[in-house]
Amino acid sequence: AHGNETIYFLLKIATIGTWLSFLKFIYFGFLRKTMQTDLHGFKQMKISFPRIKYSNPHPYLEAELPLTMLIPMVILAFFCFFTGVYPKLVIQILPYPLKEIIFYSLKNITSAMQVYLVGLLIFTLLNTYFVPGKVIFLDLDYYYRKVVASFLCLCRKVIAPLDVAYT
């Protein structure tokens, strides 16, 4: 992308898209406000955070995170933080030599903050479009069934009357 502004711009857009995907995962997975009804019938707003123990008596409300999910998430967060503080550990294992890069220069920090703020602004303005809905994932057999049903309909409505007429 060095020297080609079009590729650089497309990579920036891809970076914003990745950041939007991350924001959607964090917001709808952990921080979304949900309506819950307490014991007295009053609706109250609740921010869902991951908990270790499942103590929710209502199965239609969000479930707690099991310990087998929470431990890998904490380990991954630690490694993300650690490689962010000490990026030279990652640079040493790259398959190609890399010039000396100053990660925390004013130019690099403002460039990253621009991308993050644009992504955050887009997510804030278009939050209603990012709400995950109930989706049915279709397998290949769905299309196979549609083709077979169309073929059988053709046989019933077109070929069968022709067969009766000419036999």
The per-residue pLDDT for 69 is 84
pTM of the full predicted structure? 0.52
Same-domain check for residues 39 and 92: yes
102 versus 49: the higher-pLDDT residue is: 102
Q: Which of 65, 31, 28 is nearest to 46 (CA)?
A: 31
71, 149: one domain: no
Residues 123 and 140 placed together within one structural domain of the fold: no
Q: What is the pLDDT of residues 26-42, one digit of tens each?
A: 887 777 665 454 455 55
Whether residues 126 and 150 fall in one domain: no
Q: How many residues in total does the chain contain? A: 167
CA atoms within 13 A on the CB side of 66: 2
Per-residue pLDDT tens for 50-86?
Answer: 544 445 454 444 556 778 888 998 999 999 999 988 8
20 and 53 together in one domain: yes
Residues 118 and 147 in one domain: no
Q: Please tell me whether residues 102 and 146 are part of one structural domain.
A: no
The answer to whether residues 84 and 129 belong to one domain is yes
- For residues 43 and 32, membership in a common domain is answered with yes
122 or 131: whose pLDDT is higher? 122
- Are both 85 and 152 inside the same structural domain? no
Q: How many CB atoms lie within 10 A of CB 99?
A: 4
* Whether residue 33 is found in the same domain as residue 115: yes
Q: Are 65 and 50 in contact (CB under 8 A)?
A: yes
Domain range for 62 is 5-135
First-last CA distance in the chain: 70
Other C-beta atoms lying within 10 Å of the C-beta of residue 123? 19
Are residues 142 and 114 part of one domain? Answer: no
pLDDT, residue 43, reads: 52
Number of domains in the chain: 2
